[in-house]
Amino acid sequence: MDITINGQLHQLDIEPDTPLLWVLRDELGMTGTKYGCGVAQCGACTVLVDGQATRSCVTPVEAVAGSQIMTIEAVTQDPVGQKVVEAWVSQQVAQCGYCQSGQVMAATALLKQTPKPSDEDIAAAMVNLCRCGTYNAIAAAVRHAAQA
């Protein structure tokens, strides 16, 4: 099976129903995408598939064959992703950091689709869980990135 991740084509000999998360982490060594819950509820595993925020823990690899997948490892190669990362740093969003790769990917997807989001747009898109409760800082960073 051929999949394109961060602009690079990978040929994999893998079961088609293997979750994308495990392909990224176990087969390709891309450990920036985190395992959180395994049931698409927390968002720690969020990647972009054709620009859409996607929970990789429940996405079978066969479903993304032929798609463009972006992980946290390459987010700064995207101009919007770079702005998001810069905003995350300047706003000092991260505390423990575990959810942050998924948060950054979700924010990048939002700003690529809606460059000037309203507070309602931010609230609707930024639904990943943060056990440290940095939701206000996350929203501030998204607003900051949108203005950059």
pLDDT at 109: 98
**Calpha distance 55→148 (Å, rounded):** 27
Instruction: List the CATH code of the domain at 75-147.
Output: 1.10.150.120
Name the nearest CA neighbour of 143 among 94, 91, 101. Answer: 91
- pLDDT, one tens digit per residue, over 118-147 is 999 999 999 999 999 999 999 999 999 999
pLDDT, mean of residues 32-37: 96
Helix (H, G, I), strand (E, B) or coil at 129: coil
**Calpha distance 104→71 (Å, rounded):** 10
Domains of the chain, residue spans = 2-73, 75-147
pLDDT, mean of residues 100-113: 98
Instruction: List the CATH code of the domain at 2-73.
Output: 3.10.20.30
pTM above the 0.85 mark?
yes
- Residue 35 DSSP symbol: P
pLDDT, mean of residues 91-98: 93
pLDDT at 105: 98
Q: How do 2-5 and 68-70 pair as beta strands?
A: parallel
For residues 5 and 28, the answer to whether their CB atoms sit within 8 Å is yes
Q: Which residues contact 12 (CB under 8 A, 6 or more apart)?
A: 1, 2, 3, 23, 27, 61
For the beta carbon of residue 26, count every other beta carbon within 10 angstroms: 13
